[in-house]
Chain A
Amino acid sequence: MIVASGLKYQARELKIVGTRPLRPDGVDKVTGRARYGADISLPGQLIGKVLRSPHAHARIKSIDTSAAAALPGVKAVISRDDFADMAEEYAAAGELTINFRDVTRNMMAREKVLYDGHPVAAVAATSEAIARAALKLIKVDYEILPHVIDVIAALRPDAPLLHEEQYTEGVNPRPARPSNLAKRLEFARGNVEAGFAAADTIVEREFTTKPVHQGYIEPQACLASYSEDGQAELWTSTQGHFVFRAQCAKLLQMEISKIRVTPTEIGGGFGGKNNIYNEPLAIALSRKSHRPVKMVMTREEVFRATGPTSGGHVKVRLGATRDGRITAATAELSFQAGAFPGSSVAPASMCAFTRYDLENVRVIGNDVTVNRPKVAAYRAPGAPIAAFAVESAIDEMAKKLGIAPIEFRLINAAREGTQTYYGPKLGKIGYIETLEAARAHPHYRAPLGPGHGRGIATGFWFNIGNETTAALNINEDGTATLIMGTIDVAGGSRAAMAMMVAEELGIPFDRVRPHIGDTSSLGFNFITAGSRGTFAGGMACVVAARDAIEKLRDRVARIREVPLEAVLWKDGHAVPAEGSARQFAPMSLAEIAGQAGKTGGPIAGHAELNVQGAGPGFGAHIVDVEVDRQTGSIKILRYTAVQDVGRAIHPAYVEGQLQGGVVQGIGWALNEEYVYDADGILANPGFLDYRIPVASDLPFIDTVIVEVANPNHPYGVRGCGEVPIIAPLAAIANAVENALGIRFYDLPMAPPKVLQAIDEAAAAASKA
């Protein structure tokens, strides 16, 4: 049983929430003072480097580290033998689930290497040059095995098998033979056969997407120091320092209290910093060398061994009546999990059709292991892949029916009370309000230039809550220091939290100073994922502030010798309750804080919660494109993102989330992809050949913030970071179809592919 805790939404007049103060972390970031993962150092530190597999799939026959260990300056060498094997045991990590048996094998290969870049050994040396030289001295004897990269190829019966003991979960009876299909999920509601029989029109299509990387600009970096009494300190760039602590403890067979993790400033995450990579290796190297060990990944290592999201294959079938009512919808999603099971196919399956109120739905999700790095969450994990397929099919259906795409969505829109096919009924949501705001936007009606195309698509994401803590210390001078347990994953949640606390306390924003606590300063916090930072983190901060206010009132009740009920909190002061017989001179926060020592000791508020009641978010995007028929290049001319965020605590930072998410979606749609050669080696592990959007690729991204308050948050917050990446893929594909009359079913819509399609269409037209 999960015991929910939290506060309900109250509409009221606000002074700080909804304004745009400067972020508390801003000055450090514009002056170069902010300390990221690679900026932390300790005296006497060694540099750790990882030896990685040069093969896509191979059995490790032997590892000889003796020559490396003998190199002067090398202080420790580790490989599989330095870590205990782990039994199957599952744990939550962001939106995805991990299995410790796999985590230990991904961190350091045991029986086999399963992808190009898979760690095989690591060294710590007195300099990076010596560490690199030592890696070259490690002899690994491999038996090279056939590999499989593509998700559909991996499902063939004769496909090379990654895991000899992997029998598909979720299939009854259990398959007789192992396969690369790790898990099969099914979500169903109603009777899809009857639904399709009732349809006037059917659209059935297949779509594919390539893996894309989160592309944070800061490579993973950490520093570990293990002391002789078995205590470890770890500084790392992470979205979840408490979860990293728990995982390191498990993998290194340490007690949790003996590891202290301090999260550094994080140079981008987007889900890619939910998972441990070098952290347990750094601790193990420090344990072995008795010196602090720093490990910073190169960009090439980031591409080869961390991140990406799944490549996906999605079959969609939609049936609708002539008047635009969807009668049935099915989808089968097959996602690359990478080397170990656990892709985002489950949330993707749940998101696929959850913008629509559908009677008859069936969604099958296949989680497929392939010889690629184990996928990580990427901003609304999996949802963009599903939405690319479904929203493209919706567009095609609307066109077939002759109904405008927004109208078609409005006819079928999910609303409060809609029964989802994966479980709950939707609570108060703002999908219809979002669609209506998009329809009312001038962009929707603006005339298109010759050869230009316009596309519309929408997105849904659950948003999540989970374990969250905060502490608010009222300082002697009446300022407040907020210790939060969620990470400010760049979006400005420190500002948002301080704003909510200042609103509660009734003091100016700059009198609340927020900090991210290390793992020794607060109770457990789940990873900052699922757009939970400002929702769940905000809940904890507000609960902590109200806890502090109750204590402040209590002090005043004692000082003024009145009952607690006679003391109210208003505008930063304890004031007598209106109409109370016990009137007294109001006391300011500073006055109360100044006397705290004499009235019972320091004053602080705390929150230790499992936050429930996350409010789903919906977005509707409008995009105009121009396709260069000579080069096949697609230019984004205009982009408008409309989204229900519940409540924008700091509107500029919400706009920033929408703009950033949209542009990541543009990169996914147009440019980004992992390219493997015939040997299964990643061919583009750098920003030159893995091209993320640059400033000159883009127009301004217009944003419209819709605010349908989440009833389960004191300020109505839903969370906003993930929804904006969901719709762009389909919106752009729909716009390209509108411009060219050619629909793309395969991402990215890179110039060579587009040009080929244009040429083929021209050739077909000339024949006809």
Chain B
Amino acid sequence: MAKHHVSATVNGDGVEFLCATDQTLLEVLRDELHLNGTKEGCGTGDCGACSVMLDGRLVCSCLVLGVEAEGRRIETIEGMAVGQELHVLQRKFLEHAALQCGICTPGILIAARALLARNPDPTEAEVRYWLAGNLCRCTGYHKIVEAVQDAAREMRGA
């Protein structure tokens, strides 16, 4: 079957790609657009490693088809830092040692940024429940929660 031609915006840039009907957005990002920062941990929407923003909504890109991206706006980890300037969350993750192997980190950063966009002052419980869809096997989440709360403080100017 012929592939579909899809036009979308990724991290502010217009992109065009061909994708098979059953190809997921995650596969498109990684295999067609060569944006490897978005990770696959399960392929079934259970681990959150492939989290991206689709028209401002947090999604697991393994549960979205590539063809669904037509005309839509996608944001991935590659667009999080602006030039040499890391996003506050990225900096806080480094400062708080909130990552170890790092495979879950892009997804958690995307999810955490989505949280702080909705709720600039989340409680510990709110951070924990928001990130409950992002599995991390290394850290026990302790330093991740600290980093997100500290980033929120700095972003609020508190």
Contacts and interface: CB of A to CB of B under 8 A. Distances in A.
B152 interface: no
A217 B135 contact: yes
B77 A32 contact: yes
A20 interface: yes
A31 B78 contact: yes
Interface string A21-57: 0110111111111111011000000000000000000
Interface string A248-288: 00000000000000000111111000000000000000000
Given A129-B20, A217-B101, A268-B100, 16 more contacts: A20-B97, A23-B97, A31-B78, A218-B39, A267-B101, A490-B101, A653-B97, A653-B100, A656-B140, A659-B140, A660-B100, A687-B44, A694-B141, A695-B131, A698-B142, A700-B124
B119 interface: no
B15 interface: no
Given A27-B94, A30-B94, A299-B42, A268 B36 contact: no
A663 interface: yes
A584 interface: no
B37 A268 contact: no
A34 B49 CA distance: 14
B52 to A, nearest CB: 11
Residue of B35, B40, B96, B145 with most chain A CB atoms under a 10 A cut-off: B40
A267 B39 contact: yes
Nearest to B109: A30
Interface centre among A31, A218, A693 (most CB of B within 10 A): A31
A31 B137 contact: no
A296 B137 CA distance: 19
B46 interface: yes
B143 interface: yes
A694 to B, nearest CB: 4
A446 interface: no
Nearest to A491: B100
8 contacts: A29-B102, A30-B99, A36-B103, A217-B47, A217-B136, A655-B143, A687-B135, A697-B132
A694 B20 CA distance: 34
The 3 residue pairs across chains A and B that have the minimum distance between CB atoms? A32-B37, A267-B103, A29-B102
A517 to B, nearest CB: 19
B90 A663 contact: no
Pick the most buried of B86, B134, B142: most chain A CB atoms within 10 A of its CB. Answer: B142
Contacts of B100: 268, 490-492, 653, 656, 660
B102 A695 contact: no
A216 interface: yes
Given A32-B38, A32-B76, A695-B131, A656 B143 contact: yes
Classify the interface of chain B: helix, strand, loop or mixed: loop
Interface of B: 20, 22, 30, 35-44, 46-47, 49, 76-78, 80-81, 86, 90, 93-97, 99-106, 109, 124-125, 127-129, 131-146
A659 B41 CA distance: 21
A694 B138 contact: no
Contact of A32 (B47, B106, B132): B106
A298 interface: yes
Contacts of A27: 86, 94
Interface of A: 20, 22-23, 25-36, 38-39, 129, 214-219, 265-270, 296, 298-299, 489-492, 652-653, 655-656, 659-664, 686-688, 692-698, 700-701
Contacts of B40: 38, 219, 296
B5 to A, nearest CB: 18
Contacts of A269: 101
Given A217-B136, A686-B42, A688-B46, A659 B142 contact: yes
Contacts of B37: 31-33
Nearest to A213: B137
A688 B136 CA distance: 14
Contacts of A26: 93-94, 99
A453 B20 CA distance: 55
Nearest to B136: A217
B37 to A, nearest CB: 2
Contacts of A695: 127-129, 131-132, 134, 136, 141, 144-145
Nearest to A652: B97
A702 to B, nearest CB: 9
A30 B93 contact: yes
B68 to A, nearest CB: 19
Contacts of B125: 696
Nearest to A267: B103
A38 B145 CA distance: 28
Contact of B44 (A20, A653, A688): A688
Contact of A266 (B43, B80, B101, B135): B101
A663 B141 contact: yes
Contacts of B44: 299, 686-688
A67 B144 CA distance: 51
A34 B97 contact: no
Nearest to B143: A656
Given A659-B143, A686-B42, A694-B135, A217 B86 contact: no
Contacts of B43: 298-299
A29 B136 contact: no
Given A31-B86, A31-B90, A692 B135 contact: yes
Given A22-B94, A219-B40, A663-B140, A696 B77 contact: no
A655 B145 contact: no
A39 B93 CA distance: 22
B141 to A, nearest CB: 4
Contacts of B144: 695
A128 to B, nearest CB: 9
A664 B141 CA distance: 11
A360 B27 CA distance: 60
B94 to A, nearest CB: 5
Contacts of A299: 41-44, 46-47
A328 B102 CA distance: 46
Contacts of A129: 20, 22
Nearest to B110: A32
B105 A30 contact: yes
A296 B36 CA distance: 14
Q: Which of B42, B49, B81, B124 has the largest number of chain A CB atoms within 10 A? A: B42
A218 B47 contact: no
A705 to B, nearest CB: 14
B127 to A, nearest CB: 7
Nearest to B87: A30
A26 B124 CA distance: 24
A87 B46 CA distance: 42
A697 B133 CA distance: 12
A217 B103 contact: yes
Contacts of A34: 102
A755 B35 CA distance: 47
